[in-house]
Amino acid sequence: MSKLRSLAAILAAVALVALCGCGLAEAAAPFHIGIMTGTVSQQEDELRGAEKLMEIYGDEAHGGMIKHVTYPDNFMQEMETTISQLVGLSDDPMMKAIIASTAVPGTTEAYRRIKEKRPDIICLAGNSQEDPGVIGSIADLTVNANDIYRGYLIPVAAQKMGAKNFVHISFPRHMSYELLSRRRNIMEATCNDIGLKFHFETAPDPVSDVGVAGASSSYWRKYLHGSKSTGRTRHFSAPTMLIQSL
């Protein structure tokens, strides 16, 4: 309960600054909030969101509230870098909350280390890529899309839009995540129930050796432009922002 009260106090303070319309550049922030996002090549939307927060509430380096760091593009092979980035935020004695916008693998371990030395810091996790029971064991709050419900909703919406074929594109790393794997299975069952033809296609992982550019090229060439095996009236579903943005 005390954690919830602390979180509410932090959010209330942020809201007060926003409502007052006062820039934090005019006075030093009473506390700091750390935010970790992807880079422009991995998750541009969340990166721009962090930049907007710094614009509104000020950059910690210039007396503001927000301290922003990024996780590496190749985060599966550079997990220690992710951990180091998050743990480093807790070295600031004014840090009161740390937010992983996308909680990539390594976030749970980072939060464990943070809690060991700074139990007062509130740790928040969004869009977790670690299993719910794992990240939930240490984070004060986790927020994810309702992937179980979306496993039903997305095929139904695709059918209403006129699709006859439903193409789910993914790769082994994402299919090892509990929620994404369950969503894929629900999608297939829903397609069978409502009369959509379900296709499962494997794509290159953007954090593999091919990189973001190679993965993008493959998606476009094989699935969005050249594939005829999945029919002409089709809906593509993919659990990665890279494919969704093409």
Nearest to 112 by CA among 94, 98, 126: 98
Domains, the chain: 22-143 (3.40.50.11400), 147-244 (3.40.50.11390)
The predicted pLDDT at position 1 comes to 47
pLDDT at 236 over 70: no
pLDDT tens string 77-103:
889 999 999 999 999 999 999 999 999
pLDDT at 239 over 60: no
The predicted pLDDT at position 51 comes to 94
Rounded to an integer, what distance in angstroms lies between the CA atom of residue 105 and that of residue 36?
13
DSSP letter assigned to residue 80: H
Rounded to an integer, what distance in angstroms lies between the CA atom of residue 8 and that of residue 209?
43
pLDDT at 66 over 80: yes
Nearest to 41 by CA among 216, 225, 168, 176: 216
pLDDT tens string 189-205:
999 999 999 998 877 77
The predicted pLDDT at position 205 comes to 74
Helix ranges, the chain (H): 2-20, 44-57, 79-89, 107-117, 132-135, 147-160, 172-175, 178-194, 211-219, 241-244
Q: Which residues of 8-41 are buried (b: 16+ CB within 10 A; e: fewer)?
A: eebeebbeebeeeeeebeeeebeebbbbbbbeee
pLDDT at 217 over 50: yes
pLDDT tens string 112-130:
999 999 999 999 999 888 8
Higher pLDDT, 222 or 142: 142
Rounded to an integer, what distance in angstroms lies between the CA atom of residue 114 and that of residue 39?
23
Residue 52 burial class via C-beta count within 10 angstroms: exposed 0-12, middle 13-18, buried 19 and up: exposed
Q: Whole-model pTM?
A: 0.71
Rounded to an integer, what distance in angstroms lies between the CA atom of residue 198 and that of residue 155?
9
Phi-psi map region of 72: left, alpha, beta (phi>0 left; psi -120 to 50 alpha): beta
Q: Which residue(s) pair with 169 in the sheet?
A: 201
Q: Would you state the torsion angle of the CA atoms of residues 50, 51, 52, 56, taken in this order, to the nearest 10 degrees?
A: 100
